[in-house]
């Protein structure tokens, strides 16, 4: 695609679909930091920087009505999701969607219909990122190609586009006039490289469970759960019944995100709290991201976007913490 026709392309897509892309935040507005939203004009798009807020809430809603009830009658909601094109996702964002798919679609005997509806009406267009900033470390994780279409900044005038799925192909066919056919191998392995200066040492994490690094890292932690809420992968939720004051037999069952850093997360009947200790909760989050998820699904959950470090009020750099601890455990050998 020629860069010159990009704006026209966006405008044309917007005629039939919501076009969701990263935009800048505004301290005086409802969203204060950069985020994804359905844009009204191509000039809003801001792809230079990783967004502060994750993409996940488009699929894993902040409040999802599972069903409404009245006495013993249950009614499932009609899920009406507009057709959406997501643009400007980085490979870390895309992989986080892949991981959410693992949890909500391919986990157990049936897919989650609410999540599924949101995913089915989406088309994922990536934007390759050549160089990470001070907090991202996706190279250390090893992300997979997962997209319908991926844009690469080929040169001054051209976007190279890789088609990653049937859905992506059908989309290209629909908007044929903006795209040019290229030979196989047009997108080279060099195009796909992302350079990180920040790295995570993943070789020895399993052995760090009893390490003192967790208490030193969580020294500054206030359990505010910004890391949970900004993480594109965190998918834990809680389910509540909301009844009506006028008739308490009538109401809705809703699903909301839950954060494992706060104490109430592991509180059970009888007021027992399983992970009472903040250090344990902190460690659990990192281990779920790097170990437990992989043990179960074969992939590291963390996608190395670094939002948890950028968004942390204390800027707790657990990556460097782990690197140092791992090095120490090996006796200081590199």
Partner 1 sequence: MAGKEKPENGKLKVGFYNVTGCAGCLLSVIYTEGDFLEFSQQVDIVSFPFIKEKNDDEQELDVAFIEGVVVTKADEETVKKIRERSKMVVALGACAHLGNIPALAKMKKSEDLEYLKYKKEDFNMDREGGPAPLHTLIKIDYTLPGCPPDRDEIRQFMKYLLLGKTFRNYNDPVCVECKLRNNGCLLDQGKICLGPIIAGGCKAVCPSGGLKCYGCRGFVQGIDKEFDGYFRIMEDKGFSLDDVKRALETFMAIDAHKVLDEKFAQYQLNRKAREESYE
Residue 172, interface with partner 1 (CB under 8 A)? no
Binding residue (CB under 8 A) for partner 1 from 31, 47, 111, 172? 31
The Cα 248–Cα 79 span in angstroms is: 25
Residue 106, interface with partner 1 (CB under 8 A)? no
Binding residue (CB under 8 A) for partner 1 from 33, 38, 299, 317? 33
Residue 314, interface with partner 1 (CB under 8 A)? yes
> CA nearest 280: which of 202, 203, 200, 210?
210
Q: How near is the Cβ of 88 to partner 1 at its closest, in Å?
A: 18
Q: Which two tokens stand for residue 143?
A: 């992300």
Binding residue (CB under 8 A) for partner 1 from 139, 140, 204, 215? 215
Q: Which residues contact 283 (CB under 8 A, 6 or more apart)?
A: 209, 214, 218
Residue 27, interface with partner 1 (CB under 8 A)? yes
Residue 219, interface with partner 1 (CB under 8 A)? yes
Binding residue (CB under 8 A) for partner 1 from 30, 181, 184, 210? 30
Identify the bridge partners of residue 277 per DSSP, sorted by sequence position: none
Q: Which of residues 266-285 bind partner 1 (CB under 8 A)?
A: 277-279
The Cα 334–Cα 322 span in angstroms is: 14
Pick 205 or 261: Cβ nearer partner 1: 261
Q: How near is the Cβ of 40 to partner 1 at its closest, in Å?
A: 18
Binding residue (CB under 8 A) for partner 1 from 175, 274, 313, 324? 313
Pick 14 or 224: Cβ nearer partner 1: 224
Interface region with partner 1, contact rule CB under 8 A, candidates 22-30, 104-112, 172-180, 323-331: 22-30
Chain CA centroid to CA 334, Å? 32
H or E segment to which residue 253 belongs: strand 250-257
Distances 50 to 22, 233, 294 between C-alpha atoms, Å: 8, 15, 25
Residue 73, number of CB atoms within 10 A of its CB: 9
Pick 32 or 43: Cβ nearer partner 1: 32
Q: How near is the Cβ of 221 to partner 1 at its closest, in Å?
A: 5
Q: Which two tokens stand for residue 180?
A: 């040019």
Q: Which two tokens stand for residue 112?
A: 């989650």
Residues in the chain: 334
The Cα 15–Cα 309 span in angstroms is: 38
Contact residues toward partner 1 (CB under 8 A) are 25, 27-28, 30-33, 35, 52-53, 62, 212, 215-216, 218-226, 229-230, 243-246, 248, 257, 259, 262-264, 277-279, 311, 313-314
């Amino acid at each position: 695609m020629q860069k010159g026709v990009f704006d026209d392309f966006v405008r044309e897509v917007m005629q039939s679909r919501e076009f969701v892309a990263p935009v800048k935040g505004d301290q005086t507005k409802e969203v204060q930091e950069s985020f994804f939203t359905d844009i009204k004009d191509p000039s809003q798009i801001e792809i230079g920087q990783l967004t502060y807020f994750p993409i996940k809430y488009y699929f894993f809603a902040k409040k999802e009505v599972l069903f409404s009830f009245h006495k013993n009658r249950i009614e499932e909601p009609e899920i009406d999701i507009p057709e959406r094109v997501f643009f400007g996702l980085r490979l870390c964002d895309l992989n986080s969607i892949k991981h959410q798919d693992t949890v909500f679609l391919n986990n157990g005997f049936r897919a989650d219909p609410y999540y599924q509806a949101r995913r089915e009406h989406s088309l994922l267009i990536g934007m390759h990122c050549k160089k990470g900033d001070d907090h991202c470390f996706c190279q250390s994780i090893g992300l997979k190609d997962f997209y319908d279409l991926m844009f690469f900044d080929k040169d001054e005038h051209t976007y190279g586009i890789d088609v990653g799925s049937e859905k992506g192909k059908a989309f290209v066919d629909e908007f044929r006039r903006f795209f040019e056919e290229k030979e196989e191998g047009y997108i080279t392995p060099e195009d796909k490289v992302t350079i990180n200066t920040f790295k995570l040492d993943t070789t020895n994490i399993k052995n760090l469970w009893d390490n003192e690094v967790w208490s030193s890292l969580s020294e500054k932690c206030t359990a505010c759960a910004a890391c949970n809420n900004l993480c594109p992968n965190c998918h834990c939720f809680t389910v509540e019944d909301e009844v009506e004051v006028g008739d308490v037999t009538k109401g809705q069952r809703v699903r909301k995100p839950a954060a494992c850093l706060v104490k109430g997360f592991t509180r059970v009947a009888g007021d027992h709290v399983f992970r009472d200790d903040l250090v344990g909760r902190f460690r659990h989050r990192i281990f779920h991201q790097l170990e437990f998820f992989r043990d179960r699904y074969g992939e590291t959950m963390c996608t190395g976007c670094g939002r948890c470090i950028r968004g942390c009020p204390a800027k707790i750099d657990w990556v460097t913490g782990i690197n140092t601890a791992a090095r120490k455990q090996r006796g200081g050998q590199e």
